[in-house]
Amino acid sequence: DSGVTQTPKHLITATGQRVTLRCSPRSGDLSVYWYQQSLDQGLQFLIQYYNGEERAKGNILERFSAQQFPDLHSELNLSSLELGDSALYFCASSVFPLGPLTDTQYFGPGTRLTVL
Amino acid sequence: AQKITQTQPGMFVQEKEAVTLDCTYDTSDPSYGLFWYKQPSSGEMIFLIYQGSYDQQNATEGRYSLNFQKARKSANLVISDSQLGDSAMYFCAMRGENYGGATNKLIFGTGTLLAVQP
């Protein structure tokens, strides 16, 4: 158990809908990262938050947004869902925003999103 | 740009034997970190081992060791005494440290599926 929690574990929804994925980082970690794992794109970095502020953006679609709350939990919002958004979404956390190379990211169990 | 290459889509190994999973990388960053993660069929990503580009010695963590060859830009994972529970997908990843615009994001390879046979 990495200490990172994600809910829900599975999510099935229809095209055009909006969903929210939730993540709680490990105790003491201030940085939260979101990654998407799909069959065609592999594991890709979406976005990073540190202590409530956005720190880095990756290949995140405009239909997707995220935020980190004062209690450090984070939510990833996916809207106008398409079939291609079906994937495993991971949240990871680490101590620093841009720390030493040893600052390991620990991953949550993931949320499997299926868009029908 | 950073890139991780894992050329072995799948590997078989007999229980109790050792296996090497290949990883090569490309980066222009002056220093960087290399990570291996394990993803069992249940889906979670489990951190295994870390190697820093300036580390003098190869990293080891229990049955996992990293064969780091900086000149060849390779960071192969060695699993000794393979167990049935080692059957999983293994991902190599890297983080770079550059001047300005650096992020903590991890760049992942495509993974190697390891099957341990009894």
Distance CA B64, CA B45 (A): 16
Instruction: Tell me the percentage of chain B whose pLDDT exceeds 90.
Output: 79
The token duo for A49 is 């938050």
Distance in Å, alpha carbon of A98 to nearest chain B alpha carbon? 6
- Is A73 at the interface with chain B, CB within 8 A? no
Query: Which pLDDT value is given to residue A71?
Result: 95
What confidence category does residue A59 fall into, taking pLDDT thresholds of 50, 70 and 90? confident
Tell me what the mean pLDDT of segment A9-14 comes to. Answer: 97
B38-61 pLDDT, tens digit per residue, is 999 999 999 999 999 988 899 999
Burial class (CB in 10 A: 0-12, 13-18, 19+), B106: buried
- Is A42 at the interface with chain B, CB within 8 A? yes
CB pair distance less than 8 Å for A48 and B52 = no
Query: Which pLDDT value is given to residue A74?
Result: 98
Give Cα A98 to chain centroid, integer Å: 18
Query: Do B19 and B114 contact (CB within 8 A), yes or no?
Result: yes
Name which of B79, B76, B88, B109 is nearest B38 in CA terms: B88
CB pair distance less than 8 Å for B50 and A94 = no
Query: Which pLDDT value is given to residue B101?
Result: 47
Q: What is the CA radius of gyration of chain A?
A: 13
B83-112 pLDDT, tens digit per residue, is 999 999 999 999 876 555 456 789 999 999
CB pair distance less than 8 Å for B104 and A106 = no
Query: Which pLDDT value is given to residue B29?
Result: 83
Query: Do A90 and B45 contact (CB within 8 A), yes or no?
Result: yes
Query: Do A91 and A107 contact (CB within 8 A), yes or no?
Result: yes
Give Cα B61 to chain centroid, integer Å: 12
Between A68 and A50, the higher pLDDT residue: A68
Phi and psi at B8, nearest 5°, equal -100, 105
Which of A41-45, A66-70, A95-99 has the weakest average pLDDT? A95-99
Residues in chain A: 116
Three-state DSSP class for residue B86: helix
Give me the residue label for tokens 């938050």: A49
